[in-house]
Amino acid sequence: MLLWHEDRPKEECGIIGLVSSSREYDASSHIYLGLYALQHRGQESAGIATQNGEYLNIKRGNGLLRDVFKPADFASLKGNVGIGHVRYSTTGSGYLQNVQPIIARYWGGMMAISHNGNIVNSRELRDLVLEKGSIIRSSSDTELILHLISMQKERDVLKAVTGVLGKLRGAYSIVLIANGRLYGIRDPYGFRPLVLGRLKGKGGYVMSSESTALDIIGADFVRDVGPGEIVVTDGTQIGSCGFKGGQRNALCVFEYIYFARADSVIDGIGVYDVRKRMGRELARIRGVKADVVIPVPDSGITTAIGFSREAGIPFEIGLFKNQYVGRTFIHPGSDERDMRVRLKLNPIKSVLKGKRVVVVDDSIVRGTTSKRIVKLIREAGASEVHMYISSPPITHPCFFGIDTSVKKTLIASLNSVEEIRKFLGVDTLTYMPIESLSKSVGKSMNELCYACFNGDYPLPVTEDSVEGKLLLEDYRVLEM
C-alpha cells in the first residue's frame, strides 16, 4: 500500500529493552508503553519478547501496536526482562517470519534480539551461515546475527557477541536478552541512536532508540550508548565495553530532520530546538514576501515555527491532518495516490484563499506526494506557493537503514532544483544547504552522516554491492 507520506525517507524501526532486579516486575507492559512512544519509527509490525527464568515468551504480528496486542496477551508475557520492536522493513519484506523480536535456542538457552539498522554485507553472512548448516526461516538480516552467535566457539554470551560484531558491516543498534541479562549494542559509527535510562525508584535499566520512550515509562535518562559500545545489565549491576574504536562518528542527520520525535534528545541535542533552528536558517536563505507560513504536518510544524519567527510572517495550520486514516478502501478506477493524500490532509481554505503561502516540509524523495500537496493548496485558492525544505536535495541512496537504496527513484538525483520546482508547481523552491543544516544541529560535519546528500559514505559501499531490501529473499514462506 502506498502511504500518503511516500515522499519521506522511511526508517527501519524502533527498539527498546528493559530489565528489573525484581523478579515480580512486569516488563512487558512497560515495554509496550515505550513502544507507543516509538511507533513513529515503524508501523509495519510490532512485537515483544520477555524472559521468565528459563522460559522465553513472545507476541508479535503485522500492524500497529493497537492491532497486534490485546489486554489478554500480557498474561502470557510474564518476565522481569524483555525487549520490544516496531518495524518498517529495509532488509526483508513485511511477512511474519521477519517480524521482530526474533528468538532462537542457542548453546546457553534462549535468546531474543531486536535490531534497528541495515547490515550491508548480509548476503555474504547468509552464505557463511548456510555453509555451516544453519536453517534460516526469515529474509531479515537480524536473524543472521543469532546464527552467528550460536556458531561462536566462545561459550560466553558477551565474548560470542563481541566476536560476531567484528563480522558485521553497516548500521545497527541492537537490544538482546539472554540468561536474564539485557545487552545494548551500537555500531562503531553510531548510525542509529540508542539511549540508556534507569528505572525510577526501582532497580533496573532501560535502553531505547529515543529518550521519549524513557519518559513515558518513568525512567531517568542516563546517557547515550556510545558508538562501538556494548552495555550489559542484569538490573542490578551494569557494565560496558568497547568492541571497536577509532571509527568516524556518523549518526544519521535525518534523526534531527524527520525520524526522531520532537521531544527526544539524540546524542545530547534536543530535536525540538534543532528543528526550530532549521526554520530560522531556512528563512535567512531567501527572503520572500508572503502572508502566511504553514507546515506539512507533522514533522514540518516545529521548523515552520522557527521560520515564522525569523521571517516575521504569521504561522498558521493550513493543512488539517486526519489522524485516523489507516488502511482505507479506495474504489478501483479512482486515482489512489491522489485520494490517499486527500483523505489524510485537507486544506483549510480560510487560511489559504488569496494568500501568498510559505510551505515548510522536511524532505522530498520522489516528489509525487509533494506535488499533490501543492495541488491541494492551489485548489484552496492560494495565490502563490513558496516551498522550503529543511534538508538538502536527496541525490544519493542510503544503505544504512533508510528505504532509499535505489538512486533512480530519487527526484533530485535526476533533476535540477529548477526542474523539481516546475514539476511540483511552486513559485519558488528552497532547499537547506548542508552547511546550514550542520549549523542548525550544532555538530561538525564529520560527526554526522550526510551521504544521501553528498555521497560521502562512512563505509565504502555502492548501489551495485547492495541489492535492496529484498536481497535475502530467494523464497517466501507465507505464515497465517
* Strands (E) located in 53-194: 55-62, 81-87, 102-106, 109-119, 170-178, 181-186
Tally of CA atoms within 13 A in the half-sphere of 202 that contains its CB: 22
Contact (Cβ atoms closer than 8 angstroms) between residue 452 and residue 404: yes
Cell of 187: 555500531
Q: HEC string of 349-398?
A: HHHHCCCEEEEEECCCCCCHHHHHHHHHHHHCCCCEEEEEECCCCCCCCC
Q: Residue 135 contacts by C-beta under 8 Å, 6 or more apart in sequence?
A: none
Query: What is the rounded distance in angstroms from the CA atom of residue 258 to the CA atom of residue 275?
Result: 9
- One-letter amino acid for residue 36 of the chain: Y
Contact (Cβ atoms closer than 8 angstroms) between residue 68 and residue 62: yes
Query: What is the rounded distance in angstroms from the CA atom of residue 394 to the CA atom of residue 410?
Result: 7
Query: What is the rounded distance in angstroms from the CA atom of residue 53 to the CA atom of residue 415?
Result: 58
Q: Residue 460 contacts by C-beta under 8 Å, 6 or more apart in sequence?
A: none
* Strands (E) located in 143-203: 170-178, 181-186, 195-199
Query: What is the rounded distance in angstroms from the CA atom of residue 465 to the CA atom of residue 247?
Result: 22
Positions marked catalytic: 13
Q: Which helix (H) or strand (E) holds 207?
A: strand 204-208
Query: What is the rounded distance in angstroms from the CA atom of residue 448 to the CA atom of residue 438?
Result: 9
Query: What is the rounded distance in angstroms from the CA atom of residue 395 to the CA atom of residue 397?
Result: 7
